[in-house]
Structure 1
Amino acid sequence: MIQPDGVILAGGRATRMGGGDKGRLAVGGTALIERVIARLAPQVDRLALNANGDPARWADLGLPVLPDATEDRPGPLAGVLAGLDWAAAGGCPHIVTAAADTPFLPPDLVPRLLAAASPAGLALAATRDGDRTWPQPVFGLWPTALRDDLCAALEDGTRKVLHWTDRHGAGLAVFETDPIDPFFNVNTPEDLARAEALACG
Protein backbone atom coordinates (compact mmCIF):
# COMPACT_ATOMS: atom_id res chain seq x y z
CA MET A 1 0.00 0.00 0.00
CA ILE A 2 1.16 3.54 -0.77
CA GLN A 3 2.46 5.35 2.29
CA PRO A 4 -0.21 7.79 3.53
CA ASP A 5 0.19 11.51 4.00
CA GLY A 6 -0.02 12.77 7.57
CA VAL A 7 -2.13 15.63 8.93
CA ILE A 8 -1.68 17.04 12.43
CA LEU A 9 -4.96 18.47 13.71
CA ALA A 10 -4.43 21.78 15.52
CA GLY A 11 -7.64 23.60 14.65
CA GLY A 12 -9.20 23.65 18.13
CA ARG A 13 -9.66 26.72 20.31
CA ALA A 14 -7.87 25.35 23.44
CA THR A 15 -10.43 27.00 25.72
CA ARG A 16 -9.48 24.88 28.75
CA MET A 17 -5.89 26.11 28.43
CA GLY A 18 -6.96 29.75 28.16
CA GLY A 19 -6.85 29.86 24.36
CA GLY A 20 -3.88 30.12 22.02
CA ASP A 21 -2.01 27.35 20.24
CA LYS A 22 -1.81 24.39 22.59
CA GLY A 23 0.77 22.70 20.43
CA ARG A 24 3.30 25.38 21.35
CA LEU A 25 3.26 24.37 25.02
CA ALA A 26 6.47 22.63 26.05
CA VAL A 27 6.92 19.24 27.69
CA GLY A 28 10.46 18.33 28.69
CA GLY A 29 11.73 21.43 26.93
CA THR A 30 10.14 20.50 23.58
CA ALA A 31 6.87 21.87 22.19
CA LEU A 32 4.01 19.37 22.03
CA ILE A 33 3.64 19.81 18.28
CA GLU A 34 7.36 19.24 17.72
CA ARG A 35 7.06 15.97 19.63
CA VAL A 36 4.14 14.93 17.44
CA ILE A 37 6.04 15.85 14.27
CA ALA A 38 9.07 13.84 15.39
CA ARG A 39 6.92 10.76 15.93
CA LEU A 40 4.59 11.03 12.94
CA ALA A 41 6.87 12.31 10.17
CA PRO A 42 8.90 9.08 9.83
CA GLN A 43 5.68 7.11 9.36
CA VAL A 44 4.17 9.13 6.48
CA ASP A 45 5.07 10.40 3.03
CA ARG A 46 4.25 14.11 3.41
CA LEU A 47 3.13 15.98 6.51
CA ALA A 48 0.78 18.98 6.87
CA LEU A 49 -0.82 20.93 9.69
CA ASN A 50 -4.53 21.65 9.97
CA ALA A 51 -4.89 25.02 11.71
CA ASN A 52 -7.06 28.10 11.46
CA GLY A 53 -6.13 31.76 11.68
CA ASP A 54 -2.91 33.30 10.39
CA PRO A 55 -0.79 30.48 8.92
CA ALA A 56 2.39 32.57 9.26
CA ARG A 57 2.58 31.75 12.97
CA TRP A 58 3.47 28.17 12.02
CA ALA A 59 6.10 29.10 9.41
CA ASP A 60 8.97 27.85 11.55
CA LEU A 61 7.67 24.29 11.27
CA GLY A 62 8.10 24.24 7.49
CA LEU A 63 4.78 22.45 6.93
CA PRO A 64 1.84 23.25 4.66
CA VAL A 65 -0.95 24.79 6.76
CA LEU A 66 -4.47 23.66 5.87
CA PRO A 67 -7.42 25.65 7.27
CA ASP A 68 -10.69 23.89 8.01
CA ALA A 69 -12.60 22.99 4.90
CA THR A 70 -15.68 24.83 6.22
CA GLU A 71 -15.94 28.31 7.71
CA ASP A 72 -17.90 27.49 10.87
CA ARG A 73 -15.11 25.33 12.39
CA PRO A 74 -17.37 22.36 13.15
CA GLY A 75 -14.71 20.18 14.74
CA PRO A 76 -12.10 17.62 13.70
CA LEU A 77 -14.04 16.27 10.73
CA ALA A 78 -13.51 19.60 8.98
CA GLY A 79 -9.78 19.21 9.51
CA VAL A 80 -9.94 15.66 8.18
CA LEU A 81 -11.72 16.92 5.07
CA ALA A 82 -9.11 19.62 4.53
CA GLY A 83 -6.43 16.94 4.77
CA LEU A 84 -8.24 14.68 2.33
CA ASP A 85 -8.54 17.50 -0.20
CA TRP A 86 -4.81 18.22 0.15
CA ALA A 87 -3.83 14.56 -0.20
CA ALA A 88 -6.11 14.02 -3.20
CA ALA A 89 -4.55 17.01 -4.96
CA GLY A 90 -1.15 15.40 -4.45
CA GLY A 91 -2.29 11.99 -5.68
CA CYS A 92 -2.21 10.25 -2.29
CA PRO A 93 -5.13 7.88 -1.65
CA HIS A 94 -5.29 8.26 2.13
CA ILE A 95 -4.16 10.29 5.14
CA VAL A 96 -3.43 9.56 8.78
CA THR A 97 -4.45 12.17 11.33
CA ALA A 98 -3.13 12.88 14.82
CA ALA A 99 -3.78 15.58 17.40
CA ALA A 100 -1.19 18.30 18.03
CA ASP A 101 -1.31 17.89 21.82
CA THR A 102 -0.35 14.22 22.18
CA PRO A 103 3.36 13.98 23.12
CA PHE A 104 3.39 10.17 23.44
CA LEU A 105 2.00 9.34 20.00
CA PRO A 106 2.79 5.70 19.05
CA PRO A 107 5.80 5.27 16.75
CA ASP A 108 3.89 2.44 15.01
CA LEU A 109 0.56 4.28 14.62
CA VAL A 110 0.52 4.25 10.82
CA PRO A 111 1.38 0.59 10.14
CA ARG A 112 -1.15 -0.56 12.71
CA LEU A 113 -3.88 1.63 11.25
CA LEU A 114 -3.11 0.31 7.78
CA ALA A 115 -3.34 -3.26 9.07
CA ALA A 116 -6.70 -2.53 10.72
CA ALA A 117 -8.31 -0.79 7.73
CA SER A 118 -11.84 -1.79 6.82
CA PRO A 119 -12.81 -2.69 3.23
CA ALA A 120 -13.62 1.02 2.81
CA GLY A 121 -10.02 1.85 3.78
CA LEU A 122 -11.00 3.47 7.07
CA ALA A 123 -9.53 2.80 10.52
CA LEU A 124 -9.40 4.47 13.92
CA ALA A 125 -6.97 4.01 16.76
CA ALA A 126 -8.41 2.71 20.03
CA THR A 127 -7.10 2.19 23.53
CA ARG A 128 -7.58 -0.78 25.82
CA ASP A 129 -7.35 -0.61 29.58
CA GLY A 130 -8.12 -3.98 31.12
CA ASP A 131 -11.35 -5.16 29.50
CA ARG A 132 -12.38 -1.71 28.27
CA THR A 133 -11.73 -0.57 24.70
CA TRP A 134 -12.70 2.80 23.31
CA PRO A 135 -11.90 4.58 20.04
CA GLN A 136 -9.64 7.62 19.72
CA PRO A 137 -11.55 9.41 16.96
CA VAL A 138 -8.96 11.99 15.87
CA PHE A 139 -6.30 9.33 15.22
CA GLY A 140 -7.33 7.63 12.04
CA LEU A 141 -6.67 6.40 8.53
CA TRP A 142 -8.96 8.16 6.08
CA PRO A 143 -9.32 7.31 2.35
CA THR A 144 -9.63 10.18 -0.10
CA ALA A 145 -12.31 8.13 -1.87
CA LEU A 146 -14.69 9.09 0.96
CA ARG A 147 -14.08 12.84 0.90
CA ASP A 148 -17.25 13.65 -1.09
CA ASP A 149 -19.25 11.58 1.38
CA LEU A 150 -17.62 13.40 4.29
CA CYS A 151 -18.26 16.78 2.71
CA ALA A 152 -21.95 15.91 2.30
CA ALA A 153 -22.14 14.69 5.90
CA LEU A 154 -20.70 17.97 7.18
CA GLU A 155 -23.16 19.94 5.07
CA ASP A 156 -25.97 17.83 6.58
CA GLY A 157 -24.84 18.73 10.11
CA THR A 158 -22.72 15.73 11.12
CA ARG A 159 -20.19 16.85 13.73
CA LYS A 160 -19.18 13.80 15.78
CA VAL A 161 -16.44 11.70 14.21
CA LEU A 162 -17.93 8.38 15.33
CA HIS A 163 -21.33 9.19 13.84
CA TRP A 164 -19.65 9.28 10.44
CA THR A 165 -17.06 6.52 10.84
CA ASP A 166 -19.65 4.07 12.20
CA ARG A 167 -21.59 4.44 8.96
CA HIS A 168 -18.54 3.19 7.07
CA GLY A 169 -17.53 0.39 9.43
CA ALA A 170 -14.14 1.71 10.46
CA GLY A 171 -11.62 -0.86 11.64
CA LEU A 172 -9.91 -0.45 15.02
CA ALA A 173 -6.19 -0.55 15.77
CA VAL A 174 -6.05 -1.22 19.51
CA PHE A 175 -3.22 0.10 21.69
CA GLU A 176 -2.58 -0.68 25.35
CA THR A 177 -2.51 2.13 27.92
CA ASP A 178 0.21 0.56 30.08
CA PRO A 179 2.69 1.99 30.96
CA ILE A 180 1.55 5.25 29.27
CA ASP A 181 -1.59 6.00 27.34
CA PRO A 182 -0.11 6.72 23.88
CA PHE A 183 -2.99 9.10 23.12
CA PHE A 184 -2.79 11.09 26.34
CA ASN A 185 -3.60 14.65 25.32
CA VAL A 186 -3.01 17.95 27.06
CA ASN A 187 -6.26 19.80 27.66
CA THR A 188 -5.67 21.51 31.01
CA PRO A 189 -2.76 22.88 33.05
CA GLU A 190 -3.01 19.74 35.17
CA ASP A 191 -2.62 17.59 32.06
CA LEU A 192 0.46 19.60 31.10
CA ALA A 193 2.01 18.97 34.51
CA ARG A 194 1.24 15.26 34.23
CA ALA A 195 2.75 15.07 30.74
CA GLU A 196 5.88 16.79 32.06
CA ALA A 197 6.15 14.22 34.84
CA LEU A 198 5.66 11.32 32.41
CA ALA A 199 8.16 12.68 29.92
CA CYS A 200 10.81 13.21 32.58
CA GLY A 201 10.04 10.12 34.63
Structure 2
Amino acid sequence: MVRLPGVILAGGRATRMGGGDKGLRVVAGQRLLDRVIARLSTQCAPLAINANGDAARLAEFGLPVLPDSLPDHPGPLAGVLAGLDWAASLGAPAIITAAADTPFFPLDLATRLQAHAGPSGLCLAASPDETGRMQRQPTFGLWPVALRDDLRTALQGGLRKIVIWTQSHDAGLAAFASTPFDPFFNINTPEDIEAAETLLRQA
Protein backbone atom coordinates (compact mmCIF):
# COMPACT_ATOMS: atom_id res chain seq x y z
CA MET A 1 0.00 0.00 0.00
CA VAL A 2 1.05 3.61 -0.62
CA ARG A 3 2.16 5.56 2.45
CA LEU A 4 -0.09 8.63 2.32
CA PRO A 5 -0.13 11.92 4.22
CA GLY A 6 -2.24 11.91 7.36
CA VAL A 7 -4.42 14.75 8.63
CA ILE A 8 -5.65 14.95 12.22
CA LEU A 9 -9.03 16.67 12.35
CA ALA A 10 -8.99 19.00 15.35
CA GLY A 11 -11.06 21.88 14.04
CA GLY A 12 -14.15 21.35 16.19
CA ARG A 13 -15.22 23.74 18.93
CA ALA A 14 -15.58 21.10 21.68
CA THR A 15 -18.81 22.59 23.00
CA ARG A 16 -19.72 19.49 25.04
CA MET A 17 -16.30 19.64 26.66
CA GLY A 18 -16.75 23.28 27.62
CA GLY A 19 -14.76 24.68 24.71
CA GLY A 20 -11.06 24.74 23.92
CA ASP A 21 -8.97 22.07 22.24
CA LYS A 22 -10.08 18.54 23.01
CA GLY A 23 -6.80 17.31 21.62
CA LEU A 24 -4.96 18.98 24.49
CA ARG A 25 -7.01 17.21 27.16
CA VAL A 26 -5.02 14.68 29.16
CA VAL A 27 -6.05 11.02 29.30
CA ALA A 28 -4.07 8.83 31.68
CA GLY A 29 -1.15 11.25 31.73
CA GLN A 30 -0.93 11.85 27.98
CA ARG A 31 -2.63 14.41 25.77
CA LEU A 32 -5.08 13.12 23.21
CA LEU A 33 -3.12 14.66 20.35
CA ASP A 34 0.04 12.89 21.49
CA ARG A 35 -1.83 9.60 21.43
CA VAL A 36 -3.34 10.23 18.00
CA ILE A 37 -0.03 11.38 16.52
CA ALA A 38 1.71 8.28 17.86
CA ARG A 39 -0.85 5.97 16.24
CA LEU A 40 -1.14 7.79 12.93
CA SER A 41 2.61 8.32 12.47
CA THR A 42 3.12 4.57 12.19
CA GLN A 43 0.76 4.54 9.19
CA CYS A 44 1.07 7.88 7.41
CA ALA A 45 3.68 10.48 6.50
CA PRO A 46 3.89 13.40 6.59
CA LEU A 47 1.30 14.46 9.18
CA ALA A 48 -0.60 17.72 9.62
CA ILE A 49 -3.23 19.03 12.04
CA ASN A 50 -6.42 20.70 10.89
CA ALA A 51 -7.21 23.36 13.50
CA ASN A 52 -8.54 26.90 13.57
CA GLY A 53 -7.44 29.88 15.63
CA ASP A 54 -3.90 30.68 16.73
CA ALA A 55 -1.62 27.99 15.32
CA ALA A 56 1.10 28.86 17.84
CA ARG A 57 -0.71 26.90 20.57
CA LEU A 58 0.05 23.72 18.64
CA ALA A 59 3.61 24.61 17.61
CA GLU A 60 5.22 22.17 20.03
CA PHE A 61 3.86 19.23 18.02
CA GLY A 62 6.09 20.24 15.13
CA LEU A 63 3.43 19.62 12.49
CA PRO A 64 1.85 21.92 9.89
CA VAL A 65 -1.40 23.43 11.17
CA LEU A 66 -4.03 23.70 8.45
CA PRO A 67 -6.95 26.06 9.13
CA ASP A 68 -10.28 25.69 7.36
CA SER A 69 -10.26 27.61 4.09
CA LEU A 70 -14.00 28.30 4.40
CA PRO A 71 -15.58 30.58 7.04
CA ASP A 72 -17.97 29.86 9.91
CA HIS A 73 -16.73 26.38 10.92
CA PRO A 74 -18.60 24.32 8.31
CA GLY A 75 -17.60 21.06 9.98
CA PRO A 76 -15.19 18.18 9.44
CA LEU A 77 -15.51 18.26 5.66
CA ALA A 78 -13.83 21.67 5.72
CA GLY A 79 -10.93 20.06 7.54
CA VAL A 80 -10.80 17.33 4.92
CA LEU A 81 -10.70 20.01 2.22
CA ALA A 82 -7.85 21.82 3.97
CA GLY A 83 -6.00 18.52 4.11
CA LEU A 84 -6.61 17.83 0.44
CA ASP A 85 -5.33 21.25 -0.56
CA TRP A 86 -2.19 20.61 1.51
CA ALA A 87 -1.73 17.18 -0.02
CA ALA A 88 -2.09 18.65 -3.51
CA SER A 89 0.78 21.03 -2.74
CA LEU A 90 2.87 17.97 -1.87
CA GLY A 91 1.91 16.12 -5.04
CA ALA A 92 0.21 13.38 -2.98
CA PRO A 93 -2.73 11.47 -4.47
CA ALA A 94 -4.85 11.23 -1.31
CA ILE A 95 -4.94 11.67 2.47
CA ILE A 96 -5.95 9.60 5.47
CA THR A 97 -7.88 11.43 8.20
CA ALA A 98 -8.25 10.67 11.90
CA ALA A 99 -10.10 12.57 14.62
CA ALA A 100 -8.13 14.26 17.38
CA ASP A 101 -10.48 12.97 20.08
CA THR A 102 -10.30 9.25 19.27
CA PRO A 103 -7.25 7.68 20.98
CA PHE A 104 -7.83 3.99 20.17
CA PHE A 105 -8.33 3.94 16.39
CA PRO A 106 -6.88 0.89 14.59
CA LEU A 107 -3.19 0.61 13.81
CA ASP A 108 -4.08 -0.84 10.40
CA LEU A 109 -6.50 1.99 9.56
CA ALA A 110 -4.59 3.30 6.52
CA THR A 111 -3.98 -0.15 5.06
CA ARG A 112 -7.59 -1.24 5.39
CA LEU A 113 -8.98 2.02 4.02
CA GLN A 114 -6.86 1.69 0.89
CA ALA A 115 -7.79 -1.96 0.48
CA HIS A 116 -11.53 -1.17 0.55
CA ALA A 117 -11.60 2.05 -1.47
CA GLY A 118 -14.54 2.56 -3.78
CA PRO A 119 -14.27 3.33 -7.50
CA SER A 120 -13.67 7.03 -6.81
CA GLY A 121 -10.88 6.26 -4.34
CA LEU A 122 -12.99 7.22 -1.31
CA CYS A 123 -13.37 5.03 1.75
CA LEU A 124 -14.77 5.46 5.26
CA ALA A 125 -14.09 3.35 8.33
CA ALA A 126 -17.00 1.62 10.07
CA SER A 127 -17.63 -0.37 13.22
CA PRO A 128 -20.71 -2.13 14.67
CA ASP A 129 -22.94 -0.44 17.21
CA GLU A 130 -24.60 -2.17 20.18
CA THR A 131 -27.08 -3.88 17.86
CA GLY A 132 -24.40 -5.11 15.45
CA ARG A 133 -25.33 -2.64 12.74
CA MET A 134 -22.32 -1.15 10.95
CA GLN A 135 -21.92 2.54 11.65
CA ARG A 136 -19.77 4.74 9.45
CA GLN A 137 -16.98 6.66 11.19
CA PRO A 138 -16.95 9.68 8.89
CA THR A 139 -13.88 11.43 10.34
CA PHE A 140 -11.77 8.35 9.58
CA GLY A 141 -11.39 8.10 5.86
CA LEU A 142 -9.36 7.91 2.68
CA TRP A 143 -9.89 10.99 0.53
CA PRO A 144 -8.53 11.39 -3.03
CA VAL A 145 -7.08 14.75 -4.00
CA ALA A 146 -8.85 14.45 -7.37
CA LEU A 147 -12.18 15.16 -5.61
CA ARG A 148 -11.11 18.30 -3.77
CA ASP A 149 -12.70 20.77 -6.20
CA ASP A 150 -15.96 18.83 -6.11
CA LEU A 151 -15.84 18.93 -2.30
CA ARG A 152 -15.11 22.65 -2.28
CA THR A 153 -18.10 23.30 -4.53
CA ALA A 154 -20.34 21.13 -2.34
CA LEU A 155 -19.28 22.97 0.82
CA GLN A 156 -19.76 26.36 -0.78
CA GLY A 157 -23.24 25.18 -1.74
CA GLY A 158 -24.09 24.45 1.90
CA LEU A 159 -23.36 20.72 2.20
CA ARG A 160 -22.28 19.75 5.71
CA LYS A 161 -22.99 16.03 6.17
CA ILE A 162 -20.01 13.86 5.31
CA VAL A 163 -21.97 10.73 4.46
CA ILE A 164 -24.19 12.50 1.93
CA TRP A 165 -21.12 13.59 -0.03
CA THR A 166 -19.26 10.29 0.28
CA GLN A 167 -22.32 8.30 -0.80
CA SER A 168 -22.62 10.47 -3.89
CA HIS A 169 -19.14 9.26 -4.86
CA ASP A 170 -19.68 5.57 -4.04
CA ALA A 171 -17.29 5.48 -1.10
CA GLY A 172 -16.04 2.10 0.02
CA LEU A 173 -16.37 0.89 3.61
CA ALA A 174 -13.61 -0.59 5.75
CA ALA A 175 -15.22 -2.51 8.62
CA PHE A 176 -13.44 -2.91 11.96
CA ALA A 177 -14.47 -5.09 14.89
CA SER A 178 -15.69 -3.58 18.16
CA THR A 179 -14.04 -6.12 20.44
CA PRO A 180 -13.02 -5.76 23.18
CA PHE A 181 -14.40 -2.23 22.64
CA ASP A 182 -15.13 0.14 19.77
CA PRO A 183 -11.77 1.40 18.48
CA PHE A 184 -13.51 4.59 17.37
CA PHE A 185 -14.64 5.52 20.88
CA ASN A 186 -14.33 9.30 20.93
CA ILE A 187 -14.11 11.74 23.77
CA ASN A 188 -16.77 14.44 23.88
CA THR A 189 -17.32 15.03 27.61
CA PRO A 190 -15.33 14.88 30.86
CA GLU A 191 -17.12 11.60 31.59
CA ASP A 192 -15.69 10.19 28.37
CA ILE A 193 -12.19 10.91 29.65
CA GLU A 194 -12.92 8.74 32.69
CA ALA A 195 -14.28 6.00 30.44
CA ALA A 196 -11.16 6.15 28.23
CA GLU A 197 -8.91 5.85 31.27
CA THR A 198 -10.86 2.78 32.36
CA LEU A 199 -10.39 1.25 28.89
CA LEU A 200 -6.66 1.94 29.06
CA ARG A 201 -6.39 0.17 32.41
CA GLN A 202 -8.15 -2.85 30.93
CA ALA A 203 -6.01 -2.95 27.78
1:51-130 matches, cutoff 5 A? 51-129=51-129
Residues in 1 aligned to 2:169 and 2:3: alpha-carbon distance in whole angstroms: 22
Match for 2:45: what amino acid? D
Match for 2:181: what amino acid? I
Could you tell me which residue of structure 2 aligns to residue 3 of structure 1? 3
Residues in 1 aligned to 2:111 and 2:2: alpha-carbon distance in whole angstroms: 11
Match for 2:157: what amino acid? D
Match for 1:165: what amino acid? T
Match for 1:96: what amino acid? I
Q: State the SS of the aligned residue for 2:142.
A: strand
- How many residue pairs get matched? 201
Deviation at 1:3, TM superposition (A): 1.6
Deviation at 1:61, TM superposition (A): 0.3
Task: State, as a whole percentage, how many aligned pairs show the same letter.
Answer: 64
Residues in 2 aligned to 1:53 and 1:196: alpha-carbon distance in whole angstroms: 29
Could you tell me which residue of structure 2 aligns to residue 167 of structure 1? 168
Residues in 2 aligned to 1:2 and 1:25: alpha-carbon distance in whole angstroms: 32
Residues in 2 aligned to 1:45 and 1:187: alpha-carbon distance in whole angstroms: 27
Residues in 1 aligned to 2:25 and 2:156: alpha-carbon distance in whole angstroms: 33
Unaligned runs of 5+ in 1: none
8 Å Cα contact 1:27-1:199 kept in structure 2? no
Deviation at 1:2, TM superposition (A): 3.0
Could you tell me which residue of structure 2 aligns to residue 28 of structure 1? 28
Could you tell me which residue of structure 2 aligns to residue 38 of structure 1? 38
Residues in 1 aligned to 2:27 and 2:191: alpha-carbon distance in whole angstroms: 12
Matched, 1:197 2:203: no
Residues in 2 aligned to 1:14 and 1:154: alpha-carbon distance in whole angstroms: 21
Residues in 1 aligned to 2:36 and 2:66: alpha-carbon distance in whole angstroms: 17
Measured against aligned partners, the alpha-carbon deviations of 1:109-143 in whole angstroms (never above 9, x if no partner) come to 00000001011100000002463111000100000
Residues in 2 aligned to 1:32 and 1:9: alpha-carbon distance in whole angstroms: 12
Residues in 1 aligned to 2:9 and 2:22: alpha-carbon distance in whole angstroms: 11
Deviation at 1:72, TM superposition (A): 1.5
Deviation at 1:26, TM superposition (A): 1.1
How well do the aligned residues superpose, as a CA RMSD in angstroms?
0.9
Could you tell me which residue of structure 2 aligns to residue 156 of structure 1? 157
8 Å Cα contact 1:101-1:185 kept in structure 2? yes
Residues in 1 aligned to 2:55 and 2:157: alpha-carbon distance in whole angstroms: 28
Residues in 2 aligned to 1:149 and 1:3: alpha-carbon distance in whole angstroms: 24
TM-score of the two chains, using structure 1 as the length reference: 0.98
Residues in 2 aligned to 1:47 and 1:131: alpha-carbon distance in whole angstroms: 33
Could you tell me which residue of structure 1 aligns to residue 134 of structure 2? 133
Unaligned runs of 5+ in 2: none
Match for 2:118: what amino acid? S
